[in-house]
Amino acid sequence: MSNDPARSGVQLAISAGFASVLVAGILVVLKLWALAETGALSIAASLADSALDLMMSLGAAAAIIYAARPADEDHAFGHTSAEDLAALAQAAFILASSGVIGWTAVRRLMADTPHQLASEGRGLLVMVVSILLTLGLVWWQGRVARATGSKVVAADRLHYLGDLLPSLGAIAALWVSSRYGLGSVDAVVALAAAAVMFIGALRIGKDAWDALMDRSADPAIIDGIAKIARDWPGVHGFHDLKTRTAGSRIFVNLHIELDGTQTLREAHDIGAGLRRAILAAYPQTDVMIHKDVHDS
C-alpha cells in the first residue's frame, strides 16, 4: 500500500467499493432463489434492498474511482464532489425503496386472507448465509469509512446495515411461519425494515446535501487546525480560517501572520512546516496557507 495517506485512502475506498459489488451480486442471486421458494415478503424486502445495493454499489464504485482523479484545468479542486452526488442519489433510491416495501407490508397486513409462506427451511439457510456475508462486508466498510471519511462508503455501509434487519427479520418470520403458521409476522418485519431504511436514508441524504452546499468541516477538526496554527513556531497569529467539505476531502484556507523582517525563505519554511503538520493530523484535508505580515 502507498505511503501517501491520501493515495492509501483512495485504495481503501476502491477496495470497499468492489467488495460491496461482489457481495451484493451474490446476495441478489441467493435471495431471488429464496423468494421463489418461499414467497415471503420479508425476503422480498431483503431482496429489494440487496438489488438496490447492487445498483448503488456499482454507482458508488464508479463515483469513488472518478472522485480519485487528480485536479485538472476544469476541476481545480478535484472531483471529490462526485461522492456527494452518488450518496445523495443513494439516499433518494433508499427512500423510494422503503416506501414501496412499507406500502406492500401494510396492504398485506390489511388483507382479509393471511399470506402463507412455503419452503421455510430453504429460505432460512439463504438468509443465514446472507447475514454472514453482510457482516463481513460491513466490518470492512466500517474500517474504510473511518480511515478515509468517504461518504460513499459510509452510505454503502448503511445499505448493508439496513439489510441486516430485514435478513434477521426474515429468519424470524420464516421460523414463526414454519412453527406456528403466522404469516402476518413477515409483513410486520418488512414494515420495520422499511422504517429503518427511511430514517437512515434521511441522515445520509442530509450529510451529502450539506457537503454539496459547501458546509464547513466538523467543529472539532476546525478547532484542531486552529490549535496547530496557534502553537506553531514563528506564527504570531492567524485569521480567516475557512473550511468546506467535498466528498471525503476537506478544503482548508488559512491566513497566518509572520514577522515582516524575515526572509522569504524563512517565511516559506514556516508555512510549509505548518501545512505538513495539518496534513499529518488530518490526512483528508487539502490545505492552502496565505502569509501576511504581523502588525507589531
d(Cα 12, Cα 10) in Å, to the nearest integer? 5
**Per-residue pLDDT tens listing for the chain (296 residues):** 445 555 566 677 777 777 878 888 888 888 888 777 776 766 776 777 677 677 767 766 666 666 556 555 554 455 556 666 777 777 787 788 778 778 877 877 776 665 555 555 666 777 788 888 888 888 888 888 777 766 667 767 776 776 676 677 777 776 776 666 655 676 777 777 778 778 877 877 777 777 676 677 788 888 999 999 999 999 998 988 988 776 667 888 899 999 888 888 998 999 999 999 998 888 778 888 999 888 76
d(Cα 187, Cα 193) in Å, to the nearest integer? 10
* DSSP summary character for residue 265: H
* Domain boundaries along the sequence of the chain: 5-212, 219-293
What CATH number should be reported for the domain whose range is 5-212?
1.20.1510.10
Amino acid identity at 62:
A
What pLDDT does 172 receive?
75
Identify whether the C-beta of residue 173 lies closer than 8 Å to the C-beta of residue 186. yes
Identify whether the C-beta of residue 126 lies closer than 8 Å to the C-beta of residue 194. no
CA atoms within 13 A on the CB side of 268: 3
- Work out the number of other CB atoms within 10 angstroms of the CB of residue 70: 7
Domain 219-293 -> CATH class: alpha beta
* Closest to 247 in 3D by CA, of 60, 15, 33, 37: 60
| DSSP string covering 3-15 | SSHHHHHHHHHHH
Q: Is the pTM of this model over 0.95?
A: no
d(Cα 24, Cα 141) in Å, to the nearest integer? 13
Q: How far is CA 142 from CA 150, 156, 206, 247, in A?
A: 10, 10, 20, 17
What contacts 48, CB < 8 A, 6 or more positions away? Answer: 97, 100, 101
Three-state SS for 156-194 is HHHHHHHHHHHHHHHHHHHHHHHHHCCCHHHHHHHHHHH
